[in-house]
Structure 1
Amino acid sequence: MRRGTSIRRFSVGSKESEVLLKMRGLYLFTGLAGGSFNPYVTSLLVHQGMTSQRIGIMMAFGTLLAILFQPLWGILVDHYQRTRLVLMLTLIVPGTIVYFYNVKWLVVIVLVYSLYTIFQSTQTPIADAYAVNAASAAGTSFGTIRLFGSIGTALGGYFGGLYLNWMGVTELWIPFLLFNLLALLLVITIPVNVERRTHHVTFTSGIRQLLGNRVFLLFLAGCFLVNQTLTAFNSFFVLTFQMAGGSFAWSGIALMIASITSVPAMLVAASVLKKYGYEKTLMLASVVYMLRWAIQWLIPVPGVMIGVQTLHGMSFGFFYIAAVEYVASITGKELQATGQSLFNMVFVGLGGIAGNLLNGYLLDSGGPRLMYFSCTVSAALGALLLYKVSSISHKKQQSE
């Protein structure tokens, strides 16, 4: 989806700090919402009588619908210039429908998850595109804005576990709705007037141009193999932790540790990228992913599963910042938003579909150890592809 035409070009001036503050607040509140809800929703669905395999299938189906709806979001954002409206919808609709997970009808749960995913899937690329532009205009890094999402996710995960121990899993919707409403209040005040570009690259032509880039395709394939493993954490960690004998409260501590480690990772990401480059940083993060899953495969006990979450920052934190910055550098200004959208479709969309299907099946049929072994192998293959990307880029630089 090309969102470049709808994203404000921030001019250096008195409004910069205000915009940065609002963007950081937006990431904080959406992080609190997601951190208090997403890791625990599988436990709610199990409480409603679903198996992990069915949950994986449902999540994959919802993610597929989200991918199919990406062109529609592109029309709304590009043709009708409704960036802020779409961002508001990504907060309002998911926030108000999650209550209906408590209805014990499978068709209702599937419908709710599908709508939830369709609307929330476009939230990240729009927010990231805003944040990249805001950071560039202010002379700071994207990581200094995105880290507030990790802070929110850390606090949301920790207090979410305590909240569920106190209120019960059926009340999961309350904090999610509250934090989405707070984020909505900030979005309403984000500047909406934009400088429209005279030269437009349509969503479809932009996609065709990017898919003709062999290096970009290898990069997307590596991202796919790495990020499909992250569903083992995002979708199934709380379940595997409980299978190992852990509680909601301790799972909240593990989630907080994981997310809080992303904060220093994102703070130093700019320095790491400057020293090692995008490709080597992506490879490093992929290897850390592999180590993270291998430890949980070999030693699936609660204490180790909590301790290993310290690797989340070096894996997800470094990988995500490096990937977003890499996409921005390789696509250029005219295709930047389209590239971010395509990256999001593969990284979150296709990776989420494959990860939820595969990891849900493996967890149901072979338990946590089989799932984490598969994740270890997939992360290793992703690292190899990203090594290939690094090699091609290095040869290209030498020849220039």
Structure 2
Amino acid sequence: MLRHPEPGCSTAGLLARAIGLALADAGVAPGEVDGLGVASFSLRPDRAIDLGWRLGLKLNWCMQDEMGGASAINLLRQAWLALEAGQARTIVLAAGDHFAGADFQGLVSDYNRSAREYLSPLGCVGPNPLFAMLTQRQMMRTGLRREDYGALCVAQRQWAAGNPNAAYRQPLSLRQYLCAPLVAPPLGRLDCVPVVSGACALVLSARPAGVHVTLRASGARYNGDQQEGDGLVTGIAEFAPAMWAEAGIGPEDMDVVGVYDDYPAMALAQLCDLGFTDAGDLPGFVARRLANRSLPVNTAGGQLSAGQAGTAGGMHGLAEVARQLLGRAGERQIPGARRGVATGYGMVQLRYGMCANAAVLEREGA
């Protein structure tokens, strides 16, 4: 993740680099790749097929996704079906964006028709004001305080110290969190993801050899409540019971967790929806499981410390869970990690995200 990218940086270049590193790490030659899935806001005017052509890939399967924080798991679910159906043998999934100058401001002000016609004209540019109101609602309902959100941010910064690619790795104290300038009360600067440029990639194989990660179950819900709910419950709550039943395991069996943390409130909401706790015990859960890192959540620092590179933000958590299960997380490695869950969330409409999905992963092999 690059907070200040060098001149000449481009989305296509970042994606190509991530794909090259992922293939080298997997021991796969570019000529073996016959499937490509890409998530990006800023690759345009090019699309996934253009990137594949530039990389010299001859493909049987190709997919483009622009569902923001839900893109990575959406791509994973579709790619897994393609592998099972024999439509491809080796698929690379990549997500990334590069933002220069006013690029990000332009993206959020013209994000979709609702933003362009209803929110931006009111001065509500970007998601901060919307999620400030949602955070206020969560605080009133659950008894959470800013100190509790701060405990989550501090814990994730501790994890980020072991991630050489994180935008912010320096230690963070609760006092520093509480003293950070307010952006949209009660959200402070450290409650909001830093915008970075970057890309992330995964390699999927129909016939993996040796130690590998398999998809045990997944679920998704899009437009689950048509923006008529309060936003504190995501679509994950609707499909989580069936997903755990399909996996044959539950939240208590997870060794590592990756939740989409565009804001602390949403990270906690997803943990509730997955079944790690309930809303009535959120303050206690933060103190018992998150502040002391006894439950490994967002072990690469999450977006709040590692940064949000557009659509790569959704791939970030999924890739970190896979990395942990493969035993390749370096100094932040969770000993003996074999099972994990990752979530995706995003695509803000009038009030909150429209998309939510999740995947349960397990390590197989020696």
Band of TM-score, shorter chain: under 0.3
TM-score, scaled relative to structure 1:
0.25
Higher relative contact order (CA 8 A, sep 6+): 1
Quick check: which one's strand share is greater? Answer: 2
Q: By percentage of residues, which structure has more helix?
A: 1
Q: TM-score, normalised by structure 2?
A: 0.26
